[in-house]
Structure 1
């Protein structure tokens, strides 16, 4: 693996992520899709069971966190998509406002199992 690839992987995983089930409205070029989110971090999210857009594609995202009616709207960049017939895509948030970031950070913190906790 190249050094650049390792660095990108570390950056993608630098934020704590949690499993979550929520719907995300994803829009691009006047097309809107309702996607299922599999996991979430302060840095982005993963949309499960969807035909991915090409890496580098910019999309608009709109969602509410579980147990919070506040709508979060931001842009995202597709940074990860399986090759071939794989489904799903990883999206990095772009320009997430501080208030939304704080809400996501608090949610992730609440949902992250504490060390030593049994599941």
Structure 2
């Protein structure tokens, strides 16, 4: 895709996240508003990078999403039973960040996080 537009991104989100008629806004959370978690989120982001020809740059799944089945119990097991560093905190990922990455053609988490503020 040579010059993706907001309409292209909106169409992609509607298709991949199953959003039929709900308005899509820039400040919507990919996790909470679009319902993308675990394996669904991994597939969503993989298709996003492919669809728009975006360089993944420093994108890391675990920075924004939990793995399938990862939750509070998993956190306790990792942190206290296996004594591995583990956090239940994830950075928010918004539609604005998707749009900005689409425009830039590259995922740069530092720039995308700064624009979010």
TM-score range, shorter chain: under 0.3
Q: Which has the higher contact order (CA 8 A, sep 6+)?
A: 2
Give me the TM-score of the superposition, normalised by structure 1.
0.25
Larger Rg: 2
Give me the TM-score of the superposition, normalised by structure 2.
0.25
